[in-house]
Amino acid sequence: MASLATPIYRGVIGVRFIFLSLKAWLLNMHVLSIIRFIPYLISKNLNIYCILLLILCSFGHVSNAQKIPETWEFPGKYHSLISFLADSLTDIHDVNIKVKEKSIGTTMAIRPSFFSLFKKPENRTYILCINSDEAFDGVLLEEVPPEARVGLMAHELMHVRDYNSRRFPGLIKRGWQYLSGRGKHRFEHEIDQMVIDEGFGFFLYYWNAYVIDKSNASNDYREFKKRIYMRPWSILTELNKMGEIELPE
């Protein structure tokens, strides 16, 4: 398995990743040490003026750092993370999202509220459940490194985008998929691909690699993640196909 720093970032999404990392670092999220991507810039013969321009552009976005959509009701402790992602998800800014912290069987999960199933997409409310069970044998959000939290939250918000693109029959189809291991695997892989296509694939990689390789989760939970979601190497392979990274041979 490649280490977290192994891939060579390149192309449009590679540059986007560097930009997002700078932005997150300036937001005091400490997603990546600036040392991780300055060598990349130098290796591409980008001079100090280009580097400063990237940093100045990042500062421009930081001016709106703590702003999140009014319909997203997140506790203050999540605002930095959510505002970081919100810029890229303008199509769901008008969606109603509420947060509940309670005991669930995974780190977090988002679903339409029951009565929202029968409403038009623009009138739905989605409930993001964040696990608060200290006895949970998986991974709690508070244990997750900042860069991995970005990938995890991006995945959940892509579920909102997916649900909101569907009418009632489409939601029922998604629920039906979740009744079988194969359907669940296909569903979650589609969502992971959406995360990659949106430009957050590197962060998704950090999240999946953390859960499987670095966390204190039980073996059963790790195996569940391997069966249902994209594995870290699969994410890197997808990015490699897109020409956004170069993997070691």
Per residue in 226-239, pLDDT (tens digit) is 999 999 999 999 98
| % of the chain exceeding 70 in pLDDT | 73
Q: Tell me, what's the pLDDT at 205?
A: 93
Token representation of residue 217: 């989760």
pLDDT in tens, 38-97: 444 444 444 444 445 444 444 444 444 457 899 999 999 999 899 889 988 999 999 999
Residue 14 has what pLDDT?
52
Contacts of 119 (CB under 8 A, 6+ apart): none
Residues 114-124 pLDDT 10s: 999 999 999 99
pLDDT for res 17: 56
Q: Is the pLDDT of residue 9 over 80?
A: no
pLDDT band at 6 (very low <50, low <70, confident <90, very high): very low
Closest CA to 154 of 1, 8, 11, 24: 24
How far CA 232 is from CA of 125, 159, 222, in Å, comes to 32, 20, 12
Please give the model's pTM, rounded to 2 decimal places.
Answer: 0.78
At residue 24, the pLDDT reads: 56
Residues 6+ apart with CB under 8 A from 76: none
Task: Find the mean pLDDT for residues 129-156.
Answer: 95
